[in-house]
Structure formats: structure tokens, C-alpha cells
Amino acid sequence: MFNGTTSAKRAVTIWLLIVMFLVTAIIVVGGATRLTNSGLSITEWLLIKGALPPLSTEAWLAEFEKYKQIPEFEAEHSDMDLDGFKFIYFWEWAHRQLGRIIGLAYMLPFLWFSVRRELPKGKGLLFFVPAILIGVQGAIGWWMVHSGLQEGMVNVSQYRLAVHLGMAFIILGVLYWLLKSTRNDFRPARSGSVLVKRSAILAGLVYLQIIAGAFVAGTKSGLSYNTWPMMDGDFVPRGYGIMKPFWRNLFENTPAIQFNHRFLAYIILAMAIWIFVKARRTHMKGMAGMFLGITLWQVVLGIVTLLTGAQNDGLHLALALAHQFSSILVFVVALGLVWKSRHN
């Protein structure tokens, strides 16, 4: 129960919604940063000083010279001029700036509500968890960028990219769960029913699919095999298990990475249909229908994005960002389905 008034509960709810919106924004901006090949444009991690972009031509030229020293410049942007550098710099700066804003947007209200004792009674430590995760995420972000600055690297490590994206969705999920718990006064949940278990498995599969998508992005596997439903004439592409040991195929082999992402989508869609059929006479019918609808949309959008991948133009960029944004909706609705299965 809340220590404060109904207005305090409303204020906490609005705060969590705002931070969720900001986390959603940073995931989408992060996708744009990746798709525009902008992530390595800022070669230093300056937590305070880096909040301001270069403010003079001399400062811009100095930043550009730093970028010219890393392997990516010579490999992919050797013909870039200062205006082109400003474009990619903007995306990475905006991404980092949003990270700073999220930290402040969470920590300052958290301290305010804590001092005024307006957080739900006995739940202060739970509300501190996102603050810790946001701080860890900042460190993971630089850890990821640093991997792309090393000799011989022209992109960040796909493993570190997956960790970074995975943490962003964990933060979003924790915020959503706190929001639902706050609005429902942290009522205890039921457990044990088939729909509770199946919904939890489904949410886990959605998260696994998001991680699989990170490997598609990190290895640029979406720019290959731009056919559907077959992958250049085969359901399981040739060369799926060519790497040794076998586990490397899951994370480093383009045919395997893209096939796994496709196949997980089919599994999630089939399970969404199964849950919708089972839930049609229960209190979960509406949420199950919503999840099935957004999943169908995401699958279709993924196929269209894939088919335009070979073009690598503005249309593909817009579709890819829409696909990433829709993954956030799928994830949140999946969590809503889990919540609904556990609460009447």
C-alpha cells in the first residue's frame, strides 16, 4: 500500500510512464545509431563534458580527427567530409544524451519520493533496482563501443551489442512491472495455471527473439538472404552449421543467425495463436488478442523489412526502425499478458 495519498500514487505512476517512454526512445535512437553506422563516431567516454557537442569549427575538426584514427573510418567512411561526420556524430551524441536524461529522470524523482516517503510501503529497494540497472547500462554502453575501437575492428562486438540491447529491455520490463504493481498496490499474484506458465514461457521467447535480433543487427545478417519464405531456395540455408565448434554458428554465422531469428518468430506466432484460443473464454481474451495482433503485425513488418534489406536505402531504414519499435510493443504486451494471467 502507498504511504502517501492518491495524488502520490498518481505522481509515481506518471513518473514511471515518462521513464518508460524515454527508455523506448533510447532503444529506437540506438537502432538508428546502428543503422546509420554512427555508433563509433564519438571515440571517448566523457560522462559530464560529453553532454555538450562541439561548439566551434575547431572543436568539430578535432573530433573528426579522432574519428579518422579508428579502423572504421578507413574501412567504411574514408570519403566522408565534415558534414557527413556531423550527421553520424549527432546520432551517437543523441543516444548518449538520452542515457544521461534517463538517469536524471529516474534518480531525481526517486530521491524526491523517497525523502517524502511517498513510495509504496516497504518497496523502496525495489524502486532502487532500475537506478542500479541504468548505471550498469551506461557502463555496458561504453564497453560495447570500446570493442569497436580496437585494432582490426570496424564494428562493435555483436556479443556486447546483444548484452546492451538485452539490458535495455530488462530495464523497460522492470519499469513496466513496477508500474503495474504500483497501480494495483502490489497485490499478490496467483500461480500454477496453464495460462500463467504458458504466458511466462511466451514472454521468455519474446525476450530471446530480441536477443536474436541483436545478433542479426550486430552481424548485419539482415542484409543477406533477402527472400521469403525460403532462404535463397532452402528452408534451412546451406552453410547453417559450417563453423566449428557448432555454437559459433548461433552468434557468428549469417545463415544460422537469420534462420534462427525467422524460426523463433514462427514459434512465437504459433504460441500466440495457441494462447489466444485457450484464453478466448477467460479474462485474458482481450490481452491475448492484442498480443496476437501485434505479433502478426511484427512478423509481416519483419518480412517486408527483410525483402527491402538488399536496397539498404531510406525505405529500409524506416522499416527497420519501425520493426525495432514494434519489438518494444510486442515485449510490453507480452509482459502485460503475463501480468493478466496472474491477476484478475
CA atoms within 13 A on the CB side of 35: 23
Kind and range of the H or E element at 260? helix 254-279
* Beta strands per DSSP E along 29-98: none
Q: List CB contacts of 50: < 8 A, sequence separation 6 or more.
A: 42, 44, 93, 96
Q: Provide mean pLDDT across the span 71-88.
A: 91
Asked if 13 and 179 touch (Cβ cutoff 8 Å), the reply is yes
Choose the most confident range, by mean pLDDT, from 50-64, 201-215, 296-310: 201-215
Q: List CB contacts of 32: < 8 A, sequence separation 6 or more.
A: 38, 91, 317, 321
Does the pLDDT value for residue 46 go beyond 60? Answer: yes
Grid cell digits, residue 30:
540506438
Least trusted range by pLDDT, from 219-223, 311-315, 320-324: 311-315
CA torsion sign, 177 to 182 to 184 to 185?
A: positive
**Sole residue written with cell 564519438:** 42
Task: Report the chain's mean pLDDT, rounded to a whole number.
Answer: 92
% of residues, the chain, pLDDT over 70: 95
**pLDDT for the residue numbered 160:** 96
Q: List CB contacts of 132: < 8 A, sequence separation 6 or more.
A: none
**pLDDT for the residue numbered 103:** 96
pLDDT-derived band of residue 17, with 50, 70 and 90 as boundaries? very high
Grid cell digits, residue 33:
545509431
| Helix ranges, the chain (H) | 6-35, 57-68, 71-76, 82-115, 124-148, 158-183, 194-218, 247-252, 254-279, 285-307, 314-342
The per-residue DSSP string of 175-208 comes to: HHHHHHHHHTTTPPPP--SHHHHHHHHHHHHHHH
pLDDT-derived band of residue 190, with 50, 70 and 90 as boundaries? low
Does the pLDDT value for residue 240 go beyond 70? Answer: yes
Q: How far is CA 281 from CA 272, 276, 288, 335, in A?
A: 15, 9, 11, 20
pTM of the complete model beyond 0.85:
yes
Q: Provide mean pLDDT across the span 289-307.
A: 95
Q: Provide mean pLDDT across the span 172-197.
A: 84
Does the pLDDT value for residue 189 go beyond 70? Answer: no
Distance CA 169, CA 295 (A): 17
**pLDDT for the residue numbered 49:** 73
DSSP-assigned letter for residue 47: T
Least trusted range by pLDDT, from 58-72, 180-194, 324-338: 180-194
Distance CA 45, CA 245 (A): 35
pLDDT-derived band of residue 59, with 50, 70 and 90 as boundaries? very high
pLDDT-derived band of residue 308, with 50, 70 and 90 as boundaries? confident
